[in-house]
Chains A and B, each alone.
Chain A
Amino acid sequence: MGLAAYAELFCQSNFSFLQGASHPQELVQRADFLAYQAIAITDECSVAGVVRAYTAIKDQQLSIKLIVGSLFKLNDEFSVILLCPNRQAYAELCRIITNARRRAVKGQYQLESWDLKSSQHCFALWLPSGQVDKDHAAAKQLQAIFKQRLWIGVQRQLTANEHRYIQHCRYLQQQYQLPITACGGVLMHDPDRLMLQHALTAIGQGKSIASLGRELLSNSERSLRCLEKINRLYPQQWLQESVEIAQRCTFDMSELRYEYPAELVPQGKTATQYLRELVLVGMHKRFAADGKLAFAIKRIIAKELKLIREMQYEYFFLTIYDIVQFAKLQHILYQGRGSAANSVVCYCLEITAVDPRQIDVLFERFISKERQEEPDIDVDFEHQRREEIIQYIYQKYGRERTAIAATVVTYRQKSAIREIGKAMGIDESQLAFFIKNIDRRDVQVDWQAQIAELGFAAESQQGKQFIYLVNEIKGFPRHLSQHVGGFIISAGPMYHLVPIENAAMAQRSIIQWDKDDLGSLGLLKVDILALGMLSAIRKAFELVNTHYQHDWSIAKITKLGDDPQVFKMIQQADTVGVFQIESRAQMSMLPRLKPKCYYDLVVQIAIVRPGPIQGDMVHPYLKRRDGVEKFDHPSKAVEAVLKRTNGVPIFQEQVIKMAMVAAGFTGGEADQLRRAMASWKKNGELLKFREKLINGMLQRGYEFDYAERIFNQIKGFGEYGFPESHSASFAVLAYVSSWLKYYYPQAFYVALLNSWPMGFYPPAQLVQDAQRHQIQILPVCINASDYEHKFEFHNNDWAIRLGFSLVKGLKETALISLLKHRPEQGFEHVAQIKQLGLARHYLEALASANAFSCISDNRYAARWSLMDNESDLPLFRHLAEPAANYSESLVAIKKPSASETLIEDYSSLSLTLGKHPIALLREAGLLPKHVQANQLYQREHQKPLSVIGVVVGRQRPGTSKGVTFISLEDDTGCMNVIVWLATARAQKQAYLKSKILKVNGILERGDGGVTHIIAGKLEDLSHLIKQLDTRSRDFH
């Protein structure tokens, strides 16, 4: 007799957090391999894992049927699984999950019997508890609700006294005339996951594994078992019942269709018509000036609109159009980016501000039908005003119809070590010690070897188990969190489509799927992101308008074409504060890449990433571009893809396209490759594509070496690969910010300072940079400053007056009354200000920031007199300078010395406008011989020298194997120091702790005049600051 078929109806993946010990993909793969008829993924009050199972089945073309369901526990004695036979049942399940989740705090749920009573479509598998009274009550209740849709689900897990439980279930069957179906209660796809399942249970309970005893699973039977075993364990009839239930479940995830909110389209029009109208209106606005091009433009628009119609993406564009219209009305600066954003349609809809013809190389990569990707438009908004956009969306569509995509937070190295360690009973301070000292970036020594170095007995049995479990749990989901800005908006209530749960942030709700899940189902999300640079640019435009009466916009600047002056500045790496190309690594590359035009910036932004550097693309690219290295494209097809980057794949799109044209990947496969690239460090899925890619290329006549090189470059791309479509939009902002820095430096710096925190550099660095550009900076002053930094006319030019916002511990609201009551001619004495009734600590903060310097020459004395609470009494109010003893007590207060001034400046403003610490030290004769930053260019390549500076940054890019960039700053500029791992290790003290550092090293001048100092000896000079006073006193 053959084996009876079986469908697993009760199976929890690791999206039942800290219960399931297998990924949904693993479960469906194994169930398919074992020739199950179907598998239901029934995570506890969740459908978060089903999309992954669905995607795995689709991608790997598995023949197993997927059923959507969920496990619910009303209390300890009452568990039931709901399965979805059809679309209505699915909507019902989503609603029940949503209700149960929304009742509880984040991460938990609370089912109520009302939820079950409301069910009209779902199938119910009841899991009796074995407690006689409770089960009889439950049976009656469930039967009344589910009637013919109810089964008893019996599991056999080979536990003690199982025969009694089965007897009990059979009795229930007879008593209530309920059919029994077999089910497995699966938590693992493979029995080998038992150890991990134990560890997860322990983590969930917050106890050690050893102390849990019988609360753990007693064996590995809750795994997917082969049909032979299933047949031995269950009666035929029960197995048959499982298959019948599975057959009645016809719901498929592909039935889910996103329905866009109908109100986007005016009544009486179709979405297509409406979109067309809007685009045409935009076209006249955007292209009115050049009438002769109208035909070409019209043709492109027609082509794009046709594609949009075929793919039914009209609502997606309309949704974004609606949002940016709101932003425009509110004067919030925004910019769209992504593959679809670089279309003429988006330009006409004012989603982007740049004429796509200027970036014509991008033109071909609009939405690609063959690549089966969802259209990608992210919209960046000013970071300080993004909340306004979010509120608009909530207000317009309501919370029922709007939700944010989830981000699945997974176990990473640190969390894995911490939690597995705790579960195994390893001392917590020891774990903390490991975590602090494992260097994730040390590519030479893996973490296992590192903890052994730190004294962990990795060879002991416990040690091996620990390492095994940590590696196993990595990549397991821990909880759902909120995506940065991915909104989905629907026509009807969201919970018909996907369950919603509470986010950690009050008044926010998230759906149970992340962006990849949405992508797999073809559901579109709108990314509402925050970008600091947009705030800065908008503020700069306003300042320019106010003070120079020039009216600029991003569109106007880009219309002017590439400005050689601006590019000259960029080539000299004078890019502090500029978008994207301001980081250390970017700046060191600028003089080598020497960007001359907009597209060079697009390349520059994408090339200085960990990926391409790893893949050794920078050097070939530079050599080929400069004509030093000759190269041929191996074929026409490849040439078409790689021509614009000299045969070197730099952008993510190129890699995908390469796989298609050179290795014959289908659109769907290429999209899988793209996803595998994004997560290959996590799961190594990318390696699966190696054979296919190389074979594909060999078959098409490419050489093995070339094919392998391409694969290695893809690998090198890893998760850092940057899409050209995004780089193109970023390059616009990089150019516009450079342009502003060149033509309106005051406005540029003021706008940046007023938008801070953002970007790479703190205010101190920005102010220094401004000073180096001969811009006058005026100090914070009680009589001149506003809350924000502003323009002030001084010595025949615009200077920057620092604002109160720089003063630590001060609030904008606190200053309202001060600014309101500030007399025209300014305050004359401290007592006047005291009478305004500002909180004392605000006034003290102002005093320490030397804001009273115009009325009191000693900031210590100013603060001291503000601290006196006696003169607050009404009796003394009439006195301008109250109380006779006031001046007496001031005698005891001395004047700050040079170093004290420095310290006061730094502690209240984080910057000083006085002399730079290095200058002070040099004048006091405290510094050994050294070269100043502005003299470096006179020094010879490969010659030893010493430099001294304040450490303003330590950066260790994931790219370079153990190299740290230290930025040193002296009074004349910045210096780049490169510290190799070995040097850093040998001189850890100076490397880690210095505030003022002396570096003896070798000067290295690269191709484009980039100057670095390769550190040899590091010496900590931080103690010198304290000596400033004694020395300067000696001078008197």
Chain B
Amino acid sequence: MLWLYLHFPNLQLDALLSQAQGEEIAPLVILDQHSHNIVQLSAKAAATGITLNMGLGTAAALAQDLQVVPYVPRITEDKLHEIAEVLYLSTSDISFFAPQGLLLRIHNMLRLYGDLSSYWQVLKNQLAPLKLTYHYATGHSPLAANILAKKGWNTISDDLELLRRTIAQCQLSETDIAPKTQQQLMRVGVRNVQDLLRISFADMAKRFDISLVNYLGRLSGEFKHPIEFYHPPEVFKRYMELLFDVDNSQFLQGPLGHVLKVLEQFLKLRDRLTQSLIIQFYQRDHEHIEWTVGSQQGEYLASRWHALIAIKLEQLKLDSAVYAISLTTGKTQIRSPDKGDLFSAKKGSLSRLQLVSLLQAKLGEQAVVSPAINNDFRPEHAASYHSPAVAKELNHDMSPMLQAMRPSFLLSPPQPLREKVTVLYGPERLNTGWWDSRPVIRDYYIAHNEQGQWYWVFKGPDGDWHLHGVFS
């Protein structure tokens, strides 16, 4: 049995830097948000003296212009799936063994490729275009390969004696033994795997729980180690974090094109077409935007999809900057059944939702909106249009206590008041909105004009009167 382990210590960082095309502006670190410790760091960050597991405070003290990105496990997970997909072309037995690495069973592949070194050459060529940092090692057991790769042994060998010798020299801290157990072992002078294996399993079992004995048995290859292997997915799914926040939708073309290329590869390999793509734009301060782009006849070429998307991108209105995008093939997406003409349908036979989806299918999602009440004093911001689903939620949230009496017709923008009115109620004074640079300072009155129309008028800070609305 021979195993190969690939350890990718910097997947999230690599994913970010691959977009920067080699240019790294500032020292960059990936931070675990719970412990506030550095979990990945760029070369520039390392040059300032920052090390792994350092606290954010110390790190920041070492590098003034430090760029900090929170660690998102999902990115690493997705990236590993991507790599597995690529490697699957050359290796049949791949396992997601640990969060940051892939385990490959290779002794059964060797016959196919001749010998170990030519197999490894193939693998290396597959990995090269991905531009990832990785460590590798072979091992006589999955755990041995895992430990050696993680310590950066970077050696491919089928010399079992050498493998055993190397593993014996590994420090306890390089293994996955629970830190508490490691501590206990250190306190009796056990420093490395060799010290550990010198003790009989029976003696070990008297002092430690069974998981340590299991681990050692699997490491030495004496116990069987059940491994679950990877099956390539049916659906294409990519999530990509952008290096910079993008607020101009046109700049999204680049990253999208990149993902579409990968999609093309995916579809080509499976000899498939997809009829729709679901694209999600993750916005910094707002809900993400989700699009479905369809192609009636089905498509796999990146260029075709790109052309379709480019048209839609022009209409994309971002509420705030986009920090990530994701792309999924929508094979399971149900297309609206062929209902014929909208107006020929029987009246009243559609539910609200059905109507909404039908309208969206015909007119495009953007074309169907629904008014919603916003929680804001400013009349200009008190209502807005949203997609029907969001609007329903917003209206639902509003406490009735907070709803003030407002006219049904609002003039937008408010017009100077040109006629004589008699003030009946007021003022209602608004002084709000300082936080988003659209402040409003006004005194509102309810008044009626000589014709008896009920007006909603206000006086601004400069003393000018405006007509803002008419009560029905």
Contacts and interface: CB of A to CB of B under 8 A. Distances in A.
Nearest to A462: B435
Nearest to B36: A432
Contacts of B184: 844, 867
A988 B49 contact: yes
Contacts of B33: 429
A432 B60 CA distance: 11
A867 B429 contact: no
A869 B431 contact: no
A287 interface: no
B347 interface: no
B36 to A, nearest CB: 7
B61 A213 contact: no
B70 A867 contact: no
A219 B429 contact: yes
Interface stretch (A440-448, A648-656, A892-900, A939-947): A892-900
Interface stretch (A97-105, A156-164, A671-679): A156-164
Contact of A429 (B70, B202, B428): B70
B251 interface: no
Interface string A299-311: 0000000000000
Nearest to B61: A988
Which one of B36, B190, B202, B429 has the highest number of Cβ atoms from chain A below 10 Å of its Cβ? B429
B188 interface: yes
A158 B427 contact: yes
Contacts of A108: none
Interface stretch (A175-183, A453-461, A618-626, A738-746): A453-461
Interface string A584-597: 00000000000000
Interface in A399-458: 424-425, 429, 432-433, 436-437, 453-455
B470 to A, nearest CB: 17
B428 A159 contact: yes
A864 B189 CA distance: 9
Interface residues of A, number: 58
B431 A432 contact: no
B206 A870 contact: yes
B353 interface: no
A160 B428 contact: yes
A218 B429 contact: yes
Given A429-B70, A893-B188, A218 B432 contact: yes
B297 interface: no
Interface in B385-434: 402, 404-405, 425-432, 434
Interface stretch (B306-314, B326-334, B373-381): B373-381
B377 A213 contact: yes
A194 B439 CA distance: 13
Given A860-B188, A892-B199, A993 B58 contact: yes
Given A218-B430, A219-B431, A989 B374 contact: no
Interface string A994-1019: 00000000000000000000000000
Interface string B427-467: 11111101111000001100000000000000000000000
Contact of A869 (B70, B189, B207): B207
Contacts of A454: 60, 64
B203 A992 contact: no
Contacts of B207: 864, 867-869
Nearest to A213: B375
A869 B184 CA distance: 15
A374 interface: no
* Interface residue range, chain B: 35 or more
Contact of A453 (B36, B64, B432): B64
Interface string B43-74: 00000010000001110111011001010000
Interface in A970-1002: 988-989, 992-993
A848 interface: yes
B56 A436 contact: yes
A904 interface: yes
Contacts of B437: 461
A160 B374 contact: no
Nearest to B62: A988
A703 interface: no
Given A158-B427, A869-B207, A465 B404 contact: no
Contacts of B427: 158
A216 B427 CA distance: 18
A861 to B, nearest CB: 8
A433 B70 CA distance: 12
B209 to A, nearest CB: 11
A219 B68 contact: no
15 contacts: A162-B428, A191-B431, A195-B434, A209-B435, A210-B435, A219-B429, A220-B431, A425-B285, A429-B70, A432-B36, A437-B61, A889-B199, A889-B203, A896-B189, A989-B49
Interface of A: 158-163, 191, 194-195, 198, 209-216, 218-221, 424-425, 429, 432-433, 436-437, 453-455, 461-462, 465, 844, 848, 860-861, 863-864, 867-870, 885, 889, 892-896, 900, 904, 988-989, 992-993
Interface of B: 31, 33, 36, 49, 56-58, 60-62, 64-65, 68, 70, 184, 187-190, 195, 198-200, 202-203, 206-207, 285, 374-377, 402, 404-405, 425-432, 434-437, 443-444
Given A215-B375, A218-B431, 16 more contacts: A158-B429, A161-B404, A212-B375, A213-B376, A214-B376, A214-B404, A215-B402, A216-B432, A218-B432, A433-B60, A437-B60, A868-B203, A869-B206, A889-B200, A892-B198, A892-B203
Q: Lowest 3 CB-CB distances: which A-B pairs, in order?
A: A213-B375, A160-B404, A860-B189
